[in-house]
Structure 1
């Protein structure tokens, strides 16, 4: 027996698990109460994850992981904590749901995949073989246009690198692992500290070349990385 997960893609009415509205995918357990609109459901799933399922996951992980060159985008809402304190819970839920839905449309309309929801942001990816530089530029332009609405204010970082992909799927999506995934999250934190709404890693800047005029922000030491990392705004 495998796992069951509950996901809400930004619905206006919301989905509630055990009387709490969910904002990101969450694993379900036997006896959980789910409320959707005026319908209340109780999950009956009394079986533990089987030993055979766990063994199969390990074997699949060993067999299927491969390094795939990918474009990566991480987004994050700016000042989410004070924003959440200044708004009514219902209004915040509608704002987040609308923003996530719009971002999801942008990503998927350009053949990208949202791999992980982060509460106040997400990680998206495009295998290089399935996209083009021009398509990534179109995504960047659409996100920049969305930033102009300031509803909510958010930042995003673009990176290119080889990602360990495959093995055990997470909530229906590929598991993305490795140094390049760690790097883009470090770069997002750096963008936050520099007050930059949009930024490129060195590899993304090199890959995009003349398609995206960019300004060097300098080279920075990042925790967990031995060499300094160049960073660019655009």
Structure 2
């Protein structure tokens, strides 16, 4: 069952309130609350505990940006609650100011119903996940404090034992009493033995805790704690063969270009050092963007992002930034720069434990996974760093924040249906990105002529692209296709789709 989403609309116009109420009325998991007086907004937010706030900018009782400031006060219960500002017009300066004050989103009212519901769900989901992380951190801190209190209590007993051993706690009287043969002497001896036993037990517990912590850290390197939480398991010992989760997720594949050629001149030890140095730099970006590394594939990796394409694409761009930084270091030390390819796709899959009872590991299965691997393989043909599928593009909450170039409709090896392929320019080096943006109109015009079978015009536009950006391998690829089609002839029912026979 979906988690409850609570919307609080702050708008002095009841007609707007009624319109938005109707937009979300058909969503069973969305509860709608309306506040017409902004001066009562904080009080109402305390009562209904919204997962997202919709707020008008123009109200007679209070200026809208001032209300944003109040809602984002550190002592307000709404400090972390997602805030979507509603305005009657698209005004950049007001939008910038709203974001500076802490707004999460900006919509011109009245927005499209589907878009509004999608944004409400997106921000609410992020907020609910934030609350879950806060709760988990609080539980973790409480457990740490409980353990600390326990060790402190054991320490007090140990102090008493130390006092006895150092003759600080009435040593002479206790020594004499211990020599007695009656119950009182027995009590003194038992007390001394008890204190010594407690001290030994504390030492054993401390060593056991150190060993357990070390063991958990070691397990975490093979089965990450995030993986356990995703499978809803408390400990590695709870994981069983066949445990899995099935849902729509984003998948990422990446690897180093020409790794076989690079590794030919290396010893096995050099290969290990090289791959580990690379993975050590880029892998943290997966965790930084709420992803799970399912497995390492030699020089590459497969990762999934349970919350979707936004996290995956942000991680992909961040990984390529780390590679650029690493390349600066490599070049300064006399090494060649690295080039990697990344493919991102979104679809339904199963993630869980596979193998047999004595040996198991995490893995993911579905056609989505296979297609993502093929998508990553296409990066070398197009000469680009980061490719996403049309499904990934459609799952982005704010695709306009990225510079995206449509490249092709292609059929990859092992599939019958074509996929639309897009390049994310944000991942490229600055000088390459500028040239591709500069030639994008000519590139798109060439694609249009290419799809419409006007090979001569298509060739002219792709040559214009290469005249400005000679390193645009995609434009070069299209010139090669134009030459092939010119030589072999254009097939009947040509729709511009190209079939790749290689991985």
TM-score (norm 2): 0.32
Establish whether residue 86 from structure 1 lines up as the match of residue 254 from structure 2.
no
Deviation at 1:177, TM superposition (A): 0.5
Unaligned runs of 5+ in 1: 1-5, 10-23, 25-56
Establish whether residue 192 from structure 1 lines up as the match of residue 360 from structure 2.
no
SS across alignment from 1:86: coil
Aligned mates of 2:313, 2:339 — CA distance in 1: 20
Question: What are the superposed Cα offsets for residues 164-193 of structure 1, whole Å, 9 maximum, x if unpaired?
Answer: 233537976533101100100111122222
The structure with more radius of gyration: 2
Rate the CA distance shift 1:65–1:90 in 2: closer, same or farther, 3 A: closer
- The 5-angstrom pairing of residues 1-234 of structure 1 reads 61=242, 67-128=246-307, 133=310, 135-148=311-324, 149-150=326-327, 151-166=337-352, 168=354, 174-208=362-396, 209-234=399-424
User: Which structure's residues are more often helix, by fraction?
Assistant: 2
C-alpha root-mean-square deviation of aligned residues, in Å? 3.1
Aligned mates of 1:205, 1:182 — CA distance in 2: 18
Aligned mates of 1:132, 1:204 — CA distance in 2: 6
User: Which structure's residues are more often strand, by fraction?
Assistant: 1
Q: Is the 8 A contact 2:344 2:392 kept in 1?
A: yes
Q: Which has the higher contact order (CA 8 A, sep 6+)?
A: 1
TM-score (norm 1): 0.65
SS across alignment from 2:251: strand
Unaligned runs of 5+ in 2: 1-217, 223-239, 328-336, 425-503
Rate the CA distance shift 1:146–1:113 in 2: closer, same or farther, 3 A: same
SS across alignment from 2:415: coil
Q: Is the 8 A contact 2:343 2:372 kept in 1?
A: yes
Aligned mates of 1:96, 1:168 — CA distance in 2: 25
Corresponding pairs, count: 177
